[in-house]
């Protein structure tokens, strides 16, 4: 189990922001489901899995996911107790996924309150497999009720600050899992079998605030593009722009117990860097922040983005120069629109000093 978690999460490190670490581990009565992990490892397997996942990818958020936990019942109470125990004992868990395979006219009365009680534990809550099924062929009355039900569900999530994601479980009714599992039922999605928008589609858009969103492989607005931005995983994700050596520094830290230290610089432009090529979107505005501290000296430091397009490299200043020193941490911050014409082959975010070769550390870095 640990090998699988480590292998898969390391393969996708930096590309996945939320992992479904353990899925569907409880029976309807709140007892543990019988499977190879439960039977061979025992009750600790879920905690062990989350601990292994945090070690494999410290920057990703870790989720537990299940069905029929949308209302307060024996199953959701068991999941709630597990999450509560994990939070109090230090087992890493960041979110709970509510699959939300629902039925027209039967949205749980306490749906929002149930999401909120989980959020109050200090975890994000997400609707991970949303669909709302009905008897088929669909009647006008049920389609109209589906409009109200989708609106209720989406608004419940929107009302909770820690409800951070909603995923519909399929695109069109012609390719839904529902008819194959629930005989005589279907029409659960926002598009019909001909990929035409159903009445519920517009109500979802309205409940979201009227905007449409285009899926993109880059992080959503507000997500940190950088891996290990808090540096608590040592030098994971960090490298050198130019010459020098990066090391994990536990002597000083802005937050937590680690920072990243660069020594052996031979030029002012040598810096602590991350490659962000696959995580940039052309034309987007990005904001960056990072805390910097020298080992000696008071140079001016700044944050730069190096873009290599069609074989030529240009430099974008993300955070302008500010004086840093050895007596405390200095915040560098700024923003810029990142755009290019042609083929982007490499993009590197890095912190440098405007003059000198002093060793310096960074901590709590973001680029979003």
Active site members: 24, 129
* 3-class DSSP string for the chain: CHHHHHHHHHHCCCCCCEEEEEECCECCCCCECCCHHHHHCCCCHHHHHHHHHHHHCCCCEEEEEECCCCCCCHHHHHHHHHHHHHHHHCCCCCEEEECCEEECCCCCCCHHHHHHHHHCCCCEEEEEEEEEEEECCCCHHHHHHHHHHHHHHHHHHHCCCCEEEEEECCCEHHHCCHHHHCCCEECCCCECCCCCECHHHHHHHHHCCCCCCCCCCCCCCCCCCCCCCCCCCCCCCCEEECCCEEEEECCCCCCCCCEEEEECCCCCCCEEEEECHHHCCCCEEEEEEEEEEECCCCCEEEEEEEEEECCEEEEEEEEEEEECCCCCCEEEEEEEEECCCCCEEEEEEEEEECCCCCCEEEEEEEEC
């Amino acid at each position: 189990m640990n090998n699988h978690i480590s292998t898969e999460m390391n393969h996708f490190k930096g590309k996945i922001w939320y992992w479904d670490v353990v899925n569907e581990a409880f029976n309807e009565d709140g007892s543990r489901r019988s499977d190879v992990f439960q039977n061979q490892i025992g009750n600790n397997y879920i905690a062990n899995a989350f601990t292994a996942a945090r070690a494999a990818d410290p920057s990703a958020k870790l989720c537990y996911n299940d069905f029929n936990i949308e209302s307060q019942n024996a199953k959701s109470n068991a999941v709630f107790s597990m999450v509560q125990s994990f939070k109090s004992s230090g087992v890493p868990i960041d979110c709970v996924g509510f699959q939300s395979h629902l039925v027209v006219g039967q949205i749980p009365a306490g749906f929002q309150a149930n999401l909120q009680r989980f959020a109050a534990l200090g975890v994000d809550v997400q609707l991970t497999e949303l669909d709302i099924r009905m008897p088929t062929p669909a009647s006008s009355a049920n389609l109209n009720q589906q409009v109200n039900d989708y609106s209720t569900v989406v608004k419940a999530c929107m009302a909770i600050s820690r409800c951070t994601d909603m995923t519909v479980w399929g695109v069109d009714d012609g390719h839904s899992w529902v008819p194959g599992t629930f005989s005589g039922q279907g029409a659960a999605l926002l598009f019909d079998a001909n990929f035409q928008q159903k009445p519920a589609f517009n109500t979802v858009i309205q409940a979201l605030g009227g905007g449409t969103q285009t899926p993109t492989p880059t992080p959503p607005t507000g997500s940190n593009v950088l891996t290990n931005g808090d540096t608590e995983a040592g030098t994971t994700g960090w490298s050198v722009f130019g010459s020098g050596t990066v090391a994990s520094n536990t002597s000083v830290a802005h937050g937590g117990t680690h920072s990243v230290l660069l020594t052996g610089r031979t030029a002012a432009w040598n810096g602590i860097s991350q490659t962000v090529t696959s995580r940039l979107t052309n034309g987007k505005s990005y904001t960056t922040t990072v805390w910097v501290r020298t080992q000696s000296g008071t140079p001016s430091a700044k944050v730069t983005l190096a873009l290599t397009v069609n074989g030529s490299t240009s430099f974008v200043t993300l955070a302008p120069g500010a004086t840093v020193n050895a007596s405390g941490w200095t915040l560098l911050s700024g923003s810029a629109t990142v755009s290019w014409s042609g083929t982007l082959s490499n993009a590197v975010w890095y912190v440098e000093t405007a003059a000198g070769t002093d060793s310096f550390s960074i901590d709590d870095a973001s680029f979003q």
